[in-house]
Every structure is written in C-alpha cells, then in structure tokens.
Structure 1
C-alpha cells in the first residue's frame, strides 16, 4: 500500500522531497527511503539526481502497477452490513405508474381467471411473505374496488400522488415508513414463474437482482456483471461492454441498501429517476448480487399487444411449465419417501383440499393418496400425534392403511380408496350414509384406545387467539361478549366431568369416503385427540347441515335408539364451543393470507344463535346442569 501511495504522489510531483513524502504518508523518512529503494528494485521508478535535487521517473512497469492498483480500489466494496442470510418477510409492489393504453393499472388486467396482482400476491404469500406493501397512483380507486384485495390484513397501501411527475424511486421512497426490514421488490406489471421468486428469496445474497436472457420486449434494462456482482445497468446497449442478462423487475433488497438508496435520493435533482439506477449507484460501494435463470418464462405488460401475448401464449405456457414442475417435484418426493425410482411413480392426479394439497398417485404396483400439508399448518398441528392416531385408526379399520408418514414435514401417504366416493353436505344427509357415519363414530368412541393428545377446546381458543394476534388479525365485533358467554358455560361444562374418548375433531362430510363396496372410511386426523364424543357428533351435524329430522335419525343411530335431554344439552354445548373455536381458526387462516369467504362469519353468527337457544331451552329449567 505504501508503494502505491508513494507512486501516486510521485506521478503528480516528480521532484517531491522525501520529507514531503514522509509528511503526506505519515511515515518516517527512513521508511520512505526504504520504500523508494524497493520501487527502484521493482523497476517501477528510476531516480535522476542533479545537485541537491532528486527527480523520480515512473517506468512503464510502474505505470502498469498504478493502473492495476487503481482498478482494484474501484472494485473494492465496503461492507455495510452482515452478510448473514435473512428470511425475507416483506415485499413492495410498485403499482403507481401510468400505462397510457389502459384505463386501469396493468396489474389489475384480467389474465384468464386471475390478474397479475392476484397471482403475484399468492406467490408472495406461498413463499412466506407476511407483509405486502402496494404503492398506488394511477387509478388508485381500482384497488379499492378489487374484490380479491378486500379483507386482507397483510396488505398495506400507500399512494404516490406525484406518479405522473416522478419515477419508480419516488414510489419506492413513499413506502419508507412501512418498510422495516429486507424486502422483495416487485414491479406490478410482471408475470413470472413462482419458482423464480422462491429461488431469489433463497439466494444467499441479501441484495440480489433477478435476471434472465434477453427477451426482446423492447424496453429491456440490460446488466453487466463483473466479479460476480452488478457492475452496470442500462437500457442503452451501447453503454455496456457485454450483456450478461436482462432485469426482470424483481429484486431482493436489504434494509441497509434501501436506506442508502434513500440517502442518495434525497440529494437527487431528477424526480424521474428509477430505483434501479439508485441501486446501481449503491453498487459502486456495496456488492449487489444477481440470480440468472436463462430459461425463465416471464413477461412485462406495457401495452395491449403485450397483454394479448400474455393471455394467448405466455401465461398458458407458464401454467403448463409450473404444473409439470410441481408434478415432477412431487414425484421426486414420493419416490424418495417410498424408496423407489421416480420412473416407478407413473401418474399424479390433483384431488383438492380445503387447507392441504391432496393427490392420487399411481406407481407401477399401487395406487396411493398423498397429502402435502398446507402453508402455516405447522403452527397448530401436532404431526407426531397425527401420525400415531392415524396408525391406530388404521388398525381399527376406519382409516386407510398408512404407508408413510413424516412427522417433520407432514407428508402422508396412505393406500388409495378404490372407486372412492367422498361425501358432501348433500350426500352426507342420506339415510344410508348417516348410518355408516354413526357406525364409524361408535367404533372410534368405544374402541378403548387412548390417543396421545387431548383436544381441549378452551386451550385451543387461547392458542388460536394468540396466533391470530401475532398475525395482526382481527376478531369480529361482539367477539368479547360471545367469549364471555362461552367461558361462563365452560365453568358448568367442566363440572360435568365428561369421559374423554378418541375423537376425530374435524368431521367434515368431505372427510368421509366410501369405497366401491360401500365401506366407509374417516380420513385426515390432523386435529384428533381425546375429547368429548359429542364434539364429533355436533361437528358432523353442523358440517353436513343436517335438518332436524336428519339430525334426529343420526342421533338415534349413534345412541342406539335412545336420546336423553341430557344428551341434547351436551350436544348443544359442543355446537356452541365448536363454532366459536372454528371462527377464530378461520380468522387466523385469513390473517395468514388465505381466503375463507363467509366461513368465519357464518360460524360466528351460528354460535350466537345457539347461545340464545341454549339460554331459552336449558337455563333455569330442571334439566340445566343435569347431564
């Protein structure tokens, strides 16, 4: 370093004295003399002496050394923050810009059965993004009118009122108060594969731009890479030494880099500057990484022509690629679980599911049903207990044979039910099915088995309310009043000392499946545990929407022909507790980004109605308290 500094000073003043060199470099004269001799030996300088003066002449080798050192200095980046990888939980969607051909923001244009914004929000949520900030401007009212955006507490809107006279950096700056950590930046007019977003979020660099090969779309932002990091960005191809890719409009940005971008923007004199050029300015001092996916299917919608191409060609291709990828990925998971080759997994068919993803899988020797747990279920499902309970109920003959169960991931593989008929609220009310369902519950409740966990509705209420609070979810108006009534009933209910038995605890009609020989099975034991047997009975009555006559038939079958008033009182208590709990559960799921429509509100209002019925039917009568 001393050699470079001395050479730099000599290049500016060849006749500089050793005393001056020592003062400017904060070195002793002896150290300066020693270093000058090294420079002579290295043939970086020659020294001409005349009387009492010295003249230092830099050689060709010295000039090359200076150039090399200067280049290295330019490439040296400061370490602004820890490189330790962080999990990104925030995203910013820039949706303020005007597209002159459209009368609404590009992200709200229909793309088959969705919109860019709806799809991209789903992608972000699927990848663990908990807070999504949307910067609006052009036709901001369209966002308020979009049905799919209503009731989503994880979305935060901020307006750039000067969107006509500013660039994208101004829009990003308007989100300053909401951005509190590393985030993923999404331009609103981008259609892209979900796997690309996943890869970017998992990339070890905290600052990383997603790039692909040249698209030829006409408005490309090209990049040049040096030393494996961002070096140049330009829409003018003539300004780059080489083209290493094209920006896609999606970038992972650390909070520290964002703050630096804001600092530079404060002194900016051009309101139309775009965020990528502030990012480029920051890259002069801080390393900005990149992720290049050459074969990426993506598009940017800037015109009606772009929109037509996306709808007619690009989006269908993307859907097929994503479906193929998910099937290939699923086959790999199943093959690994069963210790067979991927080639032996011959077909995969989607079966659906409310929270989980379910598939019918054919291998070369078998037909299986595979369950992939839904996002966030690990917060409230005990997978080890589910595994044990599933195995117990398989032995009882009321649950399909469990082939594989990973309690860490929740992956479950069971024997597929041949010629399966899944019940629904309509078929679940038929007499023959009511008899079979009652029989399943009798077998379970009288089995004498002991499940490893207890399903305590009152503990679950507290648990789900806590999770809902951490997700910043909201309860319905009147929740506190209903909860107070439920807690008053709890004190009485606990005094009954109900005998706990193995219970399913989530008896949707859709969880009952018949095979071709009319044998009934009860599947999906995620919520199973020791509980009041009438919880299952109340649950099925509610979920299958049984009429009073159907409910009576079902109860007569379950109770072997004799129903007491005490049974009915205990049943109504369970109906109330059940609806109140699943109200909170649904609100919790919605706070996590899922859409349950009117499910939670229906539950809540029915709980209120049943509370009123309970007060009218049992409180103050001789039957109250006699179970």
Structure 2
C-alpha cells in the first residue's frame, strides 16, 4: 500500500482528497501531516535504504512495550513490514531548544522517568556491532587518516565499560533534542523510537549529548542535571567513555550514508572529534580513580 492507501485503510475511509503537508525530511524518514475528522495526524514514511539501518520488527515490539506510557507519542498504527507509522499530532508543541537550559532540564527529567519504568524488549543495541556494521557500509577507506588508530582506542574501552554496567533497561538510543517535544503546558513527550532497545541508560545520556554538539562544560552540567548532582567521578568517566564510543558510531553512520553535505557538516566532524577527544580525556584522567584504573590495568 502507498501513503494514501495506508491512511484510508487505517481510518476506514474512501476519502480521495486527503491532503499531505510535508512536516520534515529527516535523516532516515520523511513525515507528513494530514487531517481526519478535524484531527491532525503524522504519517512517517521510511526513506530510501532505511531498511539497512532500521529493524522495523524490533521497532514494532518497542511500541507495543511502551503503548501505555503517558508521555510518548500517541501511535495509532505501525506497519512492522514497510515501516509506515501514524501518530496523533501533538498540538502546540516544539522540539527542545538545546540552548534553553530549562527545556533541557525538563527533557532530561522525562528521559530519567522513562528509564525508571524498566520496560523490556527481547533485543538489545550493541554499540560495537553497529560501529562495525556502519563501517561495512562505508567506502574502502575512511575520510579520516587516523581512523584505524581511533577505532583501536575506542575498542579498548569496551571491556572496561562491560565491567561498569549494572542494570539495563529499554533505552531510546536516539534520545536527542529533536526527539523531545515540549507543549504549551510544559509537558514533555519522547518520540521516534525506531532505534530503541535494551541498553545501559547512561548510553542514552551520551546519545543526548553528542547530537547537539555540547562542549565539556555543558556536558558536565547535563550529567549533573540527570543525576540530580549525585553523580560519582567513576560514573562521569563512564559516560565520557560512552561519548567516545557513540561519537565513533555516528561518525561511521555519517560515512555510511555517503552524503557529501552530511560528511562536511559540523555534526559529522564533531562526532569523530568526540571519539578522539573523550577517549583521550578518559585515558589521561580516569586513571586517577582507583576503580577505573584497576579496570584499565586488568584489560590493558
């Protein structure tokens, strides 16, 4: 079924005059607004080659797991094969402004509350598996001359992180400012769960950080907000390690897309910079923390 066929099927209508208004063209999907019975909805349409990076069956399972959550997007239909998704349009809302610390605080609280619900699905998100998969989609040679050394450094963090992870829960994985909506009543909704899977909640925090290109001072402020000023130095360096890991992940994702404008964007360049910079921060500073130092020595 096409877009209009899907809408007609879901709403049991023969209306041939349904008007589709483009909402946004995302990195993996296109979205359109339409109206039925004076209510507005959004239909998400997967982009070209999206099936290479999104598992729609897993996404379907996630939406089944969270369907009773109050502050996630109200989905009315999702096709686990083609990836079409229809949700109610959240009126009078906007995406979180990464420069507004009141809004950042509100969405970090929403993310923490979501993690605390301890939803579960059968699949997980393996960072290094995805790093390698996106690398397999890249051209033969990375645009970064020191890519091999950078990847080796990031891989050295894996056994350390595994020994620090305590509890996994359902994580958004793409918990970026664009996927939080703030309404005029200051309610905060979390949307677009197509990457969601079981993981360490601290990884979600790293995902939130790297997308909006925060600097280290801002990153520390975000960590303090999420943990309500109760974060330990060990936890902070654990999150720094995740920042390095997901920086390489999304850098590889950008290279895999093979889009010249994306590769030359500040987003793509900063992802690779996160990988290098935060690995070095962890390597230079975390040895001062006894527990972290012991893990480094044991796996060095």
Fold in common (TM above 0.5): yes
Q: CA deviation at 1:531?
A: 0.9
Gaps in structure 2 of 5+ consecutive residues: 296-300
What pairs with 1:342-491 in structure 2 (closer than 5 Å)?
Answer: 342-343=15-16, 345=18, 347-352=19-24, 353-423=26-96, 427-468=97-138, 474-491=142-159
Gaps in structure 1 of 5+ consecutive residues: 1-328
Contact 1:502 1:528 in 2 (8 A): yes
Give CA deviations for 1:307-338 in whole Å, capped at 9, x if unaligned.
xxxxxxxxxxxxxxxxxxxxxx6434422343
Q: Distance in 2 between matches of 1:565 and 1:478?
A: 30
Q: Any idea what SS the aligned residue of 1:396 has?
A: coil
User: Structure with the greater relative contact order (CA < 8 A, sep ≥ 6): 1 or 2?
Assistant: 2
Partner of 1:335: 8
Contact 2:233 2:289 in 1 (8 A): no
Q: Distance in 2 between matches of 1:497 and 1:334?
A: 43
Partner of 1:589: 257
Q: CA deviation at 1:372?
A: 0.5
Contact 1:332 1:342 in 2 (8 A): no
Q: Any idea what SS the aligned residue of 1:395 has?
A: coil
Which structure shows the bigger proportion of residues in helix conformation? 2
Q: CA deviation at 1:462?
A: 1.9
Contact 2:138 2:256 in 1 (8 A): yes
Contact 1:369 1:415 in 2 (8 A): yes
User: CA 1:358/1:384 → structure 2, altered by over 3 Å: closer, same or farther?
Assistant: same
Partner of 1:545: 213
Q: CA RMSD in A?
A: 2.2
Partner of 2:298: none
Q: Distance in 2 between matches of 1:455 and 1:431?
A: 29
Q: Which moved more, 1:578-587 or 1:392-401?
A: 392-401
Give CA deviations for 1:100-159 in whole Å, capped at 9, x if unaligned.
xxxxxxxxxxxxxxxxxxxxxxxxxxxxxxxxxxxxxxxxxxxxxxxxxxxxxxxxxxxx
Give CA deviations for 1:555-608 in whole Å, capped at 9, x if unaligned.
233213312101111110100000001111111111xx5741333332112211
Q: Give yes or no for the alignment of 1:495 onto 2:168.
A: no
What pairs with 1:304-323 in structure 2 (closer than 5 Å)?
Answer: none
Q: CA deviation at 1:499?
A: 1.8
Contact 2:75 2:87 in 1 (8 A): yes
Q: CA deviation at 1:503?
A: 0.6
Q: Which moved more, 1:574-583 or 1:608-617?
A: 608-617
Q: Distance in 1 between matches of 2:289 and 2:234?
A: 12
Q: Any idea what SS the aligned residue of 2:21 has?
A: strand
Q: CA deviation at 1:445?
A: 1.2
What pairs with 1:5-16 in structure 2 (closer than 5 Å)?
Answer: none
What pairs with 1:248-287 in structure 2 (closer than 5 Å)?
Answer: none
Q: CA deviation at 1:404?
A: 0.7
Kindly tell me the number of residue pairs found equivalent between the two proteins: 291
Bigger-Rg structure (1/2) = 1
Partner of 1:166: none
Q: Distance in 2 between matches of 1:451 and 1:429?
A: 33
Q: What TM-score results when the alignment is normalised by the length of structure 1?
A: 0.44
Q: CA deviation at 1:344?
A: 6.5
Q: Any idea what SS the aligned residue of 1:445 has?
A: helix
Q: Any idea what SS the aligned residue of 2:151 has?
A: helix
Contact 1:391 1:402 in 2 (8 A): no
